[in-house]
């Protein structure tokens, strides 16, 4: 059961996996601040994380609820727990980020009469599996599906056949104050270089993605092994997914190509702006058809040239030959040539490309614009939403620790 103490109702609730300092955590915090300025009661349901204190300072209700997502049964269990929270908080609009979390939120909304908004960060893989088909059907019941890219919108149109008013474009918003090259001091960059044992004279090629199959880690290794130049190290920045076996296969390939001394595995990083500034080049030669890719936009906001494959939404996230290089999938020779090209650029050319990259992000992917567009959708649904249900009789209002 929930531990509850005097909590006001929250017409809007955002459900996210956690409040880590990644894209969805910063988005949650920005929404909370903007909602508070407009007098909209706002709650965030998550497993908690580094941004909880800032969320509380923004005046939002912080509801701790770890959401299990490993099975269809867990999705239904989460839906019941979320429904209790939505009723207690008198939530009229629930917004969820993450495919399995979103399924639970949509089911909970249907139980309570709330309106459901889903940001499409992933779609279940196509196929005949019962779980995948059920997940698609659940997601398709949301009142609004927010597509973070033109590619995501095309995929959603193809799979759901929704009317235009239910499927809305909404690009991921990048915090241009946080990701500002002028605000990153030298000691922050030096601290990361020392932590990861990168000598000052070495160039850095950064791949910012989880150590999971499909993001291009193996292709980057093979490309680096092809190059005669030896003045750069590879930095893999992202956590490892347990149980998929990819890390073991990747380590075997690393030994085969003989690059062990030039590769750094950094896991997750709490200072991504400094990590991008440490890098000379940011690459993502993915095979996965990604719906959104905030790290590539963050890197360009920090004035970094990017090299990406033509998979999924990635071609939309740069200006080819101005802010970066767009490659066909699969060919490590083409990637090697692109790395050599960027690392060989003269300093004035590199600076000009970095300025163009930041201007590109600022023109179409600012966080403030994304937050305003999200609030417009909330207001639209709040105007059409039924009156919030009263909390159960005898239940006091207060800070919620979440269902255990």
Q: Residues 269, 314: one domain?
A: yes
Taking the C-alpha atoms of residue 83 and residue 20, their distance in angstroms, rounded to an integer, is: 24
Range of the domain at 214: 181-364
Residue 385 has pLDDT above 60, yes or no: no
Give me the residue label for tokens 């800032």. Answer: 54
Looking at the fold, whether 387 and 290 belong to one and the same domain comes out as: no
The pLDDT tens digits for 299-340 are 999 999 999 999 999 999 999 999 999 999 878 999 999 999
Residues 6+ apart with CB under 8 A from 247: 211, 240
Q: Are residues 68 and 210 in the same domain?
A: no
Contact 145, 121 (CB under 8 A): no
CATH at 101: 3.40.50.2000
Residue 50 and residue 97 in one domain: yes
Task: Name the average pLDDT for the chain.
Answer: 89
Residue 72 scores a pLDDT above 80: no
Longest dimension (CA), the chain: 73
Highest-confidence segment of 8-17, 68-77, 282-291: 282-291
pLDDT value of position 3: 45
Residues 377 and 345 in one domain: no
Question: With 90 as the cut, is the pLDDT of residue 5 above it?
Answer: no
pLDDT at 239: 84
What pLDDT does 247 receive? 87
- In the chain, the number of structural domains is 2
What's residue 398's pLDDT? 33
Beta bridge pairs of residue 95: 14, 117
Other Cβ atoms less than 10 A from the Cβ of 368: the count is: 13
Whether 300 and 385 map to the same domain: the answer is no
Same domain, yes or no: 35 and 165: yes
Do both 216 and 316 map to the same domain? Answer: yes
Q: Are residues 98 and 186 in the same domain?
A: no
Is the model's pLDDT at 397 over the cut of 60? no
Q: Which structure tokens are listed for 67?
A: 């959401």
Same domain? 277 vs 222? yes
Q: Are 209 and 247 contained in the same domain? A: yes
Same domain, 33 and 122: yes
The string of pLDDT tens digits covering residues 127-155 is 556 666 788 889 999 999 999 999 999 99
């Amino acid at each position: 059961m929930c531990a509850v103490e005097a909590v006001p109702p929250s017409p809007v609730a955002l459900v996210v996996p956690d409040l880590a300092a990644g894209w969805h955590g910063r988005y949650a915090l920005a929404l909370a601040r903007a909602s508070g300025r407009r007098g909209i009661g706002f709650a965030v349901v998550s497993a908690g994380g580094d941004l909880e204190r800032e969320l509380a300072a923004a005046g939002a209700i912080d509801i701790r609820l770890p959401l299990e997502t490993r099975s269809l049964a867990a999705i239904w269990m989460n839906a019941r727990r979320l429904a209790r929270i939505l009723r207690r908080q008198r939530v009229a609009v629930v917004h969820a980020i993450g495919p399995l979390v979103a399924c639970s939120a949509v089911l909970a909304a249907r139980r309570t009469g709330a309106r459901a908004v889903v940001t499409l960060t992933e779609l279940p893989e196509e196929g005949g599996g019962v779980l995948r088909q059920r997940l698609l059907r659940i997601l398709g019941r949301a009142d609004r599906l927010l597509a973070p890219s033109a590619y995501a919108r095309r995929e959603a149109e193809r799979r759901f056949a929704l009317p235009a008013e239910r499927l809305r474009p909404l690009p991921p918003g990048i915090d241009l104050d946080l990701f500002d090259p002028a605000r990153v001091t030298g000691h922050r960059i030096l601290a990361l270089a020392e932590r990861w044992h990168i000598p000052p004279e070495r160039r850095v090629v950064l791949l910012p993605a989880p150590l999971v199959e499909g993001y291009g880690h193996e292709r980057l290794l093979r490309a680096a092994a092809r190059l005669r130049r030896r003045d750069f190290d590879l930095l893999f920045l992202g956590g490892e997914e347990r149980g998929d076996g990819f890390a073991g296969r990747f380590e075997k390939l690393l030994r085969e190509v003989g690059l062990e001394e030039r590769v750094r595995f950094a896991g997750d990083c709490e200072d991504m702006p400094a990590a991008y500034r440490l890098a000379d080049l940011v690459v993502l030669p993915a095979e996965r058809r990604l719906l959104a890719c905030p790290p590539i936009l963050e890197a360009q906001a920090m004035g970094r040239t990017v090299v990406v494959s033509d998979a999924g939404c990635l071609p939309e996230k740069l200006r080819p030959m101005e802010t970066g290089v767009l490659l066909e999938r699969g060919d490590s020779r083409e990637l090697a040539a692109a790395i050599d090209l960027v690392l060989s650029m003269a300093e004035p050319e590199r600076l000009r490309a970095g300025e163009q990259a930041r201007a590109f992000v600022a023109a179409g992917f600012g966080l403030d614009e994304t937050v305003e567009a999200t609030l417009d959708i909330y207001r639209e649904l709040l105007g059409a939403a039924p009156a919030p249900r009263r909390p159960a009789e005898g239940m006091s209002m207060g800070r919620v620790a979440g269902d255990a």
